[in-house]
Amino acid sequence: MMDLEKLTNQVCSLVMETGDFIHLEMKHLKVEDIETKSLHNLVTYVDKSSEELLIKRLSKLLPGAGFIAEENDGLLSGEYTWVIDPLDGTTNFVHGVPIYSISIGLLHGDDVLLGVIYEINQKECFYTWESAPSYLNQNLIKVSSTTKLTDCLLATGFPYFDYGRLDEYLILFRYLMQHSRGIRRLGSAAADLAYVACGRFDGFYEYGLSPWDVCAGALLVKNAGGKVSDFRGDKNYLFGKEMIATNLLIYGELLKLFDSWKPTVI
């Protein structure tokens, strides 16, 4: 039987080592090192080197597992699948904005078995595994206990290329600006979700997401006592490209706002 706690701790050690590499390489990054995958979507040799390192080391931790990885296609195979983002927040990274993270989740079928997010600059490691609490640097964490949307601090992000729903999305953004304590856009969905899990943010929502953005963070939020769904309130958030993540107390109120803009937002 797999020892998920031991495996999670091993992944934590790995992401902290990889985070040290990323942090050091930021000082050596040059303009010519930055590639454009698509409009607003950047990648550097640091992303690629980090991913190669993670794949190599994770393959040793769990031989035969497959991968869903941001910088590589065609790696999906095996009973277990690692879902990894080697550098979530590359645009922040290349501009010297100190919010970027590593995100690693492990899937068994549709079930997420463990999740680890490492915010590199603050040296904060968020982690959990199946049927366990969520932790930050060995301390238990919980989602917030805020009960009203008007008292909430929220997080969101904006898509790189899927602008077909943007007008309605901005209507929702405006409403939430006027009916909450504010909305933050960190530039790393993994960090957003980690911050929901530890109660810094009361909720997060975004569309245009990929599984490596949210796999680890979704489990962190759920195991910290929160609620995660797609915009319809269903479970298609890992591959469905949209997510709401909140504490249980404001989830219903926030979900109703997405219902209000159907079918154009949803």
Do residues 60 and 116 share a domain? Answer: yes
Looking at 94, 118, 141, which one is the last position of a domain? 141
Residue type, 95: H
> How far apart, in whole angstroms, are the C-alpha atoms of residue 77 and residue 89?
27
Domain that holds residue 252: 149-260
Mean pLDDT per 10-residue segment, the chain (266 residues)? 94 97 77 54 73 94 91 69 94 89 95 97 97 98 97 89 72 90 96 98 94 97 98 94 96 88 45
Q: 88: closest CA among 217, 208, 207, 191?
A: 191
Domain count, the chain: 2
Do residues 13 and 124 share a domain? Answer: yes
Model confidence over 108-136: pLDDT tens digits? 988 999 999 999 999 999 999 999 999 99
Q: Any idea what the CATH number is for the domain that residue 137 is in?
A: 3.30.540.10
Model confidence over 203-242: pLDDT tens digits? 999 988 999 999 999 999 999 999 999 999 999 999 999 9
Do residues 181 and 112 share a domain? Answer: no
